[in-house]
Amino acid sequence: MKTMKKLSIAAALCALCISAAAQPSGEGSIARYEIDLEAFSVNENYVLPDVLTCNNGEKVRNLRQWEKKRRPEIMAIYENEMFGKVPERPSGMHFVPSAPDSLVFGGKALRRRVMIYLDKEEKHGFEIMLHLPVSHAGRIPMFVALNFRSIADSFDGTRYELPYETFVDEGFGFAVAFHSSIEPDIADYTGESADVRGWYRPAEEWGAISAWAMGLSCIADYLETLPEVDMGKLVVAGHSRLGKTALWAGANDPRFAIVISNNSGCCGAATNARMYGETFRVIYDRFPYWFIPAFSKYSGRDCEFPVDQNALAALSAPRPVYIASASEDHWADPYGEWLTALNAGPVYALYGLKGLSGRTMPALGHCDDYGSVAYKIHEGPHALWADDWLDYIKFAKRHFGL
């Protein structure tokens, strides 16, 4: 099954038994860099379950079958076996300004800070920060993202490459919240103030990734109250664990018109079946609270998960989805992330939309954004850089016709 080897990824690809779902030829482009597989193993006999085969074996042949039967089945798999259900927002949710609005970037943008309270008593809530271009003609398209830093610490956006001013210059607003202020990113959190999961319903019914996804939807709820925002043009984006969250938020909330998942790896865009880099056992041992307890039964049995991650990406169809990797991010399995993008294509095809342009991984630094599924691999480590954001802005502009 699994073998430990030191070899170039090109050699690894030659050894792979490619599944019926994908017959790609990644050698040409990916051979440009080498992966030391000594610390990794790969399941050479992986098979991706067919995203368009229903639980009862029935083949999906049209959009109706996808939307009425197969898509709900896949949602239920992620809800019952991995992330838990993202609940409706609580009835007590309301919004309170947390600081006076200010003009920033030489007067080009309005900065606004708002508390999103989930309860009437205002014990459970998180702060969001908005940057909105002030001289924008028409309603404002928005990026919505969670960040790894508190609002107070992230004004410059330097550490996590949130170039707010660039967004404003390009005609986009940006709404951000600190992920841990929605649900702490800590195992066995025992505090109360921000513990949305424990307060709202039993914590074991939904993992932190679902709580963060709910937070993104709460931000969309706030944006709906702003007449200057174009609710038809919301992009949800995230990096790493927040890239997993972006995919899950996109699956749950159709208001996110474009979904961008950067270096999301295991349980995000990386294939389960290859078991390369981070695996279910490793992720669940380190971060059990991201998931529901039911997910533990797949530890070491990644291939037995009923779907692969192309199914997660395809839950956003027909909305465009962008998956991005980094060449040195072996932990997240760039090749597996590309396979996911490739194999989301058949669902987009049901909508008459194109997936990736071909069955070859794009060269480093290049993006395959020919259709409604995009994939790129930047040269370098696990990161979301300013240049990546520029690509995402370009992608959003093209799909929004801006």
Nearer to ligand GTR, 78 or 172 (CB): 78
Q: How far apart are CA 213 and CA 182, in angstroms?
A: 10
Those residues with Cβ within 8 angstroms of residue 52's Cβ, 6 or more apart along the chain or in another chain:
59, 60, 66, 70, 346, 347, 350
Binding flag, residue 266, ligand GTR (CB under 6 A) = yes
Q: From the candidates 240, 264, 325, 372, which is the catalytic residue?
A: 240
Taking the complex as a whole, the smallest distance from the CB of residue 249 to ligand GTR amounts, in Å, to 15
179 is a contact residue toward ligand GTR (CB under 6 A): no
Considering only residues 26 to 85 of the shown chain, the ones binding ligand GTR according to CB under 6 A are none
Strands 140-147 and 109-117: unpaired
Nearer to ligand GTR, 70 or 239 (CB): 239
Rounded Cα distance, 282 and 267, in Å = 11
Interacting residues of 312 by C-beta distance below 8 A, sequence separation 6+: 74, 78, 247, 248, 251, 268, 269, 340
Does 278 engage in binding with ligand GTR (CB under 6 A)? yes
To the nearest whole angstrom, how small is the minimum distance from the Cβ of residue 190 to ligand GTR? Answer: 22
Q: Is 94 labeled as catalytic in the residue annotation?
A: no
Q: Binding-site residue total for ligand GTR (CB under 6 A)?
A: 6
Q: Is residue 303 helix, strand or coil?
A: helix
283 binds ligand GTR (CB under 6 A): yes
Contacts of 17 (CB under 8 A, 6+ apart): 44, 45, 46
* Residue 368 is a binding residue for ligand GTR (CB under 6 A): no
Rule CB under 6 A: say whether 147 interacts with ligand GTR: no
237 lies in the binding site for ligand GTR (CB under 6 A): no
Figure out which of the listed residues 24, 163, 215, 265 binds ligand GTR, where binding follows CB under 6 A: 265
- CA 29/CA 334 separation, integer angstroms: 12
Q: Where are the beta strands (DSSP E) in 35-168?
A: 41-43, 94-104, 109-117, 125-133, 140-147
State the amino acid at position 20 in one-letter form: A
Considering the rule CB under 6 A, would residue 240 count as an interface residue with ligand GTR?
yes
* Residue 241 contacts ligand GTR per CB under 6 A: yes
Write down the least CB distance from residue 338 to ligand GTR, Å.
Answer: 17
Task: Indicate whether 124 belongs to the interface with ligand GTR (CB under 6 A).
Answer: no
β-sheet bridge partners, residue 132: 110
Of residues 172 and 290, the one with the C-beta less far from ligand GTR: 290
**Going residue by residue from 186 to 225, which x/- string records binding to ligand GTR, judged by CB under 6 A?**
----------------------------------------
The DSSP annotation for 34-48 comes to ---GGG-EEETT--P
Q: Is 184 in the site for ligand GTR (CB under 6 A)?
A: no
Nearer to ligand GTR, 250 or 265 (CB): 265
In terms of CB distance, is 242 or 341 closer to ligand GTR?
242
> Minimum CB separation from ligand GTR for residue 160, in Å?
11
Rounded to whole angstroms, the Cα distance separating 324 from 98 reads 34
User: Is-contact 224 231, C-beta < 8 A?
Assistant: yes
Give Rg (Cα) of the chain. 20
181 is catalytic: no
Our CB check for ligand GTR shows the closer of 262 and 316 to be 262
**How far is C-alpha 108 from the chain's CA centre?**
30
Choose between 115 and 383: whose C-beta lies nearer to ligand GTR.
383
Catalytic residue of the set 29, 41, 136, 382 = 382
Closest approach, Cβ 87 to ligand GTR, in A, equals: 23
Strands 140-147 and 2-4: unpaired
Give the angle 185-149-282 at the CA atoms, nearest 5°.
35
Q: Return residues touching ligand GTR (CB under 6 A).
A: 240-241, 265-266, 278, 283
Q: Which residues are marked as active site?
A: 240, 382
